[in-house]
Amino acid sequence: MGIKENLDMVRKNIETACAACGRGTDEVKLIAVSKTKPLPLLEEAYANGCRDFGENKVQELVDKYEAMPKDIRWHMIGHLQRNKVKYIVDKVFLIHSVDSLRLAQEIEKEAAKRGVCVNILVEVNVAEEESKFGTASDEAVSLVEEIAKLPHVRVRGLMTIAPYVKDAEENRRYFAKLKQIYVDIIHKNIDNVFMEELSMGMTGDYEVAITEGATYIRVGTGIFGEREYAVI
């Protein structure tokens, strides 16, 4: 199947999932995760209406940013090293992967230099997987409180990467837990914190994430196909 057909299917699935839980389709934004994919495929996704693209490597995001139309919203979804923050602060629409105060402070420094305000999500490792980045669930609130003190950084919500599972239902509890942390933070009414976005759900489990309240879903394989290239 081509990218157009894949996108049609993903959008139809989003509609179905939204209908099933009484949410409006416009409450869920689809990020096309284009990491490792060449420009012609991104251009095809763009031609079929995609304006939100997700990348997990700084250099690749910058290269694609330069090459693609300027009305694209670029999402940094991968682990971000502090020494690379300077390359993307003025290019990204949203950084999904902030998991430490030190990283947020680096973003603050670079954003202040350029006189911009950077929107971020705090990444939470709700499933407590050792291999994953993200702050621990019980440290998420205090991390948000600390980041809120940085004037050029704006917390917009939370993000999580759920485990890779065969049955998406297994991840429902992690999505529900992220939503709970999100609600707890809303109730704290922290200055300079705008809890609006929940970035959760990938190709294998986005429908479950939507029914648990996702506002951003990050879909790679479901749009662009497998990232592994077959050896011919």
Please report, as ranges, the residues that interact with ligand PLP according to CB under 6 A.
33, 35, 56, 77-78, 161, 202-204, 218-222
What is the C-alpha separation between 33 and 42, in angstroms, rounded?
A: 9
Tokens 């209908």, residue?
A: 19
DSSP secondary structure string for all residues of 103-135: HHHHHHHHHHHHT--EEEEEEB-TT--TT--SB
- The greatest distance separating any two alpha carbons of the chain, rounded to the nearest whole angstrom, comes to 56
Q: Is the CB of residue 103 less than 8 Å from the CB of residue 82?
A: yes
Cβ closest to ligand PLP, residue 77 vs residue 193: 77
User: In the block, which residue shows the tokens 């081509």?
Assistant: 2
Tell me how far, at minimum, the Cβ of 192 lies from ligand PLP, in Å: 25
Which lies closer to ligand PLP via its Cβ, residue 114 or residue 227? 227
In the complex, the smallest distance separating the C-beta of residue 199 from ligand PLP, rounded to whole angstroms, is 8
**Matching residue, tokens 């997987």:** 129
| Min CB(214)–ligand PLP separation in Å | 12
Say how many C-beta atoms besides its own lie within 10 A of residue 57's C-beta.
15
Q: Which is nearer to ligand PLP, 135 or 148 (CB)?
A: 135
Residue sitting closest to ligand PLP (CB): 220
Q: What are the two backbone dihedrals, phi and then psi, of residue 101, each rounded to the nearest 5 degrees? A: -65, -35
Say which amino acid occupies 103: L
Q: Which is nearer to ligand PLP, 48 or 221 (CB)?
A: 221
Q: Shortest Cβ distance from residue 134 to ligand PLP (Å)? A: 10
For ligand PLP, the closer of residues 35 and 91 by Cβ is 35
| Minimum CB distance to ligand PLP, residue 77 (Å) | 4
